[in-house]
């Protein structure tokens, strides 16, 4: 069904190591040329090392295919075995009986076979895939097998293919003799975004796609490149599921929405989205939770406009009640506790979902929380006009000297009217992201109000949602201040 819907002759993103699908990226071309040259030059021992899913097996099949009839080849897949089992597997693949033979007898039979092949002008090429799983005794056996030679040439060419753990094994002092015999080491590197697009196009071309229209939008291609990390196996998994989902939804071409859903299904999206934003994981988790809450509300039948007004009203109501409490006992010399100055996290999360134009970035510093005097400032442009002057959180020398704040006190008093959390909360009610950042900084430092990391986190989330650059820089120091 999928093939017919997209006019494909075969599945382009299969899992078998079909050499037709080998994409000639620069790193793959270089590795292929190195291995072929090493075999043809009789180097004896070679190695190819790459991360899982990089196409090592497909490339090795291409090497053997290009050698053709000039060499007898053996491909060993089963590497979770002892040295004796490895030798038996090699002889069986060469068509020799091993039942009842000990190691010396098997060595003798292999030597006879190699000499016979040499007289006929053929060499033996042995490829050992997933070689990182071999115990040291089996690797030492392979080193001993490479001693089969004449005064002029090696009778056996051995290619060890494996993951980065193989490189660690070969660097071990116990295998120094084997490491010295490996004359060529090839590596496969992940694709760049351009190479990823080329790889997808190559696969589709082999599968018979006519390219009269692009099967993937540019945005979808960029997401595939970013979340696959340039690893062919990841690219295949994402594209295979995207084609299946696109066919089920009758969507052409495949767009970003489909890729995003596939990433969620494969559990490849959340971690990468968090790492790209540069925001601490806890804030990303809160952001994801808020997104899921709004999605659920939409699915329950609530319209977009109604949901926006509801969140705004809820935010305004909570802030209004808190301001009444703050202003009821007088602002000056009133002790302010973290639990009392913090509105519910759900209120601020709801505020963060409202479509508000981004405010100017805040130029807040990230000084140590043990310092009692900070140079914080809130840009004046987003500050609403009130009966008082615009709020500035930037203490002068006189203000700094008038503060009497114990560095480690659990309860702190608001002693200066120019640093007024209530005024900042009014600006938050008017959707000022700069005020949110300023409040978050106060909570993190615990200078005017007690340190309250959860409330600072919620404020930063709301400001980040609106693209405030000051929130991004402050969130980088969030975990350090709250350890």
163 has a pLDDT exceeding 90: yes
93 has a pLDDT exceeding 60: yes
The CA R_g of the chain, rounded to the nearest whole Å, is: 33
38 has a pLDDT exceeding 80: yes
Instruction: Compute how many other C-beta atoms are within 10 angstroms of the C-beta atom of residue 352.
Output: 26
Check residue 274 and give its pLDDT.
39
Q: Concatenate the DSSP letters of all residues of 375-395 into one string.
A: -----STTPPP-SSPPP----
215 has a pLDDT exceeding 50: yes
Architecture of the structural domain at 2-15+192-268: Orthogonal Bundle (1.10)
**CA separation, residue 156 to residues 77, 137, 365 (Å):** 18, 19, 66
Give the predicted TM-score (pTM) of the model. Answer: 0.56
- 434 contacts 382 by C-beta, under 8 angstroms: yes
Check residue 450 and give its pLDDT.
73
Q: What are the residues whose beta carbons fall under 8 Å from the beta carbon of 359, sequence distance 6 or more?
A: 379, 381, 382, 431, 432, 433, 434, 466, 468
Name the CATH topology of 26-187. Rossmann fold (3.40.50)
Q: Give the β-pairing of 71-76 and 45-49.
A: unpaired
Q: What proportion of the chain, given as a percentage, has pLDDT over 70? A: 67
Q: What is the pLDDT of residues 193-214, one digit of tens each?
A: 999 999 999 999 999 999 999 9
Q: Which residues lie across from 286 on neighbouring strands?
A: none
**How buried is residue 276: exposed, middle or buried, by Cβ count under 10 Å (0-12/13-18/19+)?**
exposed
Domain coordinates of the chain in residue numbers?
2-15+192-268, 26-187, 304-399+406-481
Tokens of 168: 């660690």
* Angle at the Cα of 36 from the Cα atoms of 92 and 202, rounded to 5 degrees: 100
Check residue 447 and give its pLDDT.
64
Q: What is the pLDDT of residues 359-417, one digit of tens each?
A: 333 333 333 333 333 333 333 434 333 333 333 333 333 333 333 333 333 333 333 34
CA gap 214, 2 in Å, rounded: 16
- 208 contacts 8 by C-beta, under 8 angstroms: yes
Range 212-235 average pLDDT = 95
353 has a pLDDT exceeding 60: no
124 has a pLDDT exceeding 60: yes
CA gap 191, 193 in Å, rounded: 6
Band the pLDDT of 309: cuts 50, 70, 90: low
CA gap 418, 446 in Å, rounded: 16
Residue among 392, 28, 397 at smallest CA distance from 190? 28
What b-and-e string marks burial along 310-341, b requiring 16 or more CB atoms within 10 Å of the CB? Answer: ebbeebeebbeebbeebeeeeeeeeebebeeb
CA gap 249, 251 in Å, rounded: 5
**CA separation, residue 63 to residues 37, 47, 76, 353 (Å):** 10, 13, 15, 55
Q: What is the mean pLDDT of the chain?
A: 75
Q: What proportion of the chain, given as a percentage, has pLDDT over 90? A: 45
304 has a pLDDT exceeding 60: no
């Amino acid at each position: 069904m999928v093939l017919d819907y997209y006019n494909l002759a075969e599945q382009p993103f299969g899992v078998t190591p079909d050499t037709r699908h080998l994409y000639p990226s620069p790193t793959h071309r270089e590795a292929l040329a190195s291995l072929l040259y090493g075999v043809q030059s009789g180097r004896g021992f070679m190695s190819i090392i790459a991360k899982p899913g990089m196409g090592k097996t497909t490339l090795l099949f291409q090497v053997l295919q290009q050698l053709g009839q000039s060499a007898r080849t053996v491909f060993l897949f089963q590497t979770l075995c002892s040295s004796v089992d490895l030798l038996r597997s090699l002889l069986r693949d060469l068509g020799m009986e091993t039942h009842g033979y000990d190691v010396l007898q098997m060595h003798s039979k292999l030597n006879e076979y190699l000499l016979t092949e040499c007289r006929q002008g053929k060499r033996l090429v042995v490829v050992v895939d997933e070689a990182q799983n071999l115990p040291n005794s089996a690797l030492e056996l392979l080193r001993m097998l490479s001693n089969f030679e004449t005064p002029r040439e090696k009778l056996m060419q051995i290619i060890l293919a494996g993951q980065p753990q193989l490189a660690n094994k070969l660097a071990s002092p116990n295998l120094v003799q084997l490491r010295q015999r490996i004359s060529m080491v090839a590596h496969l590197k992940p694709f760049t975004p351009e190479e990823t697009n080329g790889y997808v196009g190559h696969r589709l071309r082999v599968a018979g796609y006519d390219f009269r229209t692009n099967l993937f939008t540019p945005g979808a291609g960029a997401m595939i490149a970013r979340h696959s990390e340039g690893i062919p196996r990841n690219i295949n998994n994402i594209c295979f599921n995207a084609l299946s989902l696109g066919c089920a939804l009758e969507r052409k071409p495949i767009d970003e929405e489909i890729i995003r859903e596939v990433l969620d299904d494969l559990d490849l999206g959340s971690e990468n989205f968090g790492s790209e934003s540069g925001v601490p994981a806890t804030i990303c988790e809160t952001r994801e939770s808020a997104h899921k809450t709004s999605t659920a509300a939409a699915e329950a039948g609530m319209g977009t406009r109604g949901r926006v007004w509801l969140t705004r009203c809820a935010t305004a109501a909570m802030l209004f009640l808190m301001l009444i409490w703050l202003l009821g006992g007088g602002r000056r010399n009133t002790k302010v506790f973290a639990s009392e100055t913090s509105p519910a996290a759900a209120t601020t999360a709801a505020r963060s979902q409202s479509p508000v134009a981004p405010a100017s970035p805040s130029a807040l510093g990230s000084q140590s929380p043990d310092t009692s005097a900070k140079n914080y400032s809130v840009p004046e442009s987003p500050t609403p006009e009130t009966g008082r002057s615009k709020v500035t959180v930037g203490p002068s020398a006189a203000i700094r000297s008038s503060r009497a704040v114990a560095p480690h006190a659990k309860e702190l008093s608001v002693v200066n009217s120019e640093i007024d959390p209530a005024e900042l909360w009014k600006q938050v009610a008017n959707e000022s992201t700069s005020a949110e950042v300023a409040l978050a900084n106060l909570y993190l430092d615990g200078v005017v109000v007690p340190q309250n990391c959860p409330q600072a986190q919620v404020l930063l989330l709301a400001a980040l949602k609106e693209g405030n650059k000051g929130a991004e820089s402050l969130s980088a120091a969030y975990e350090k201040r709250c350890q």
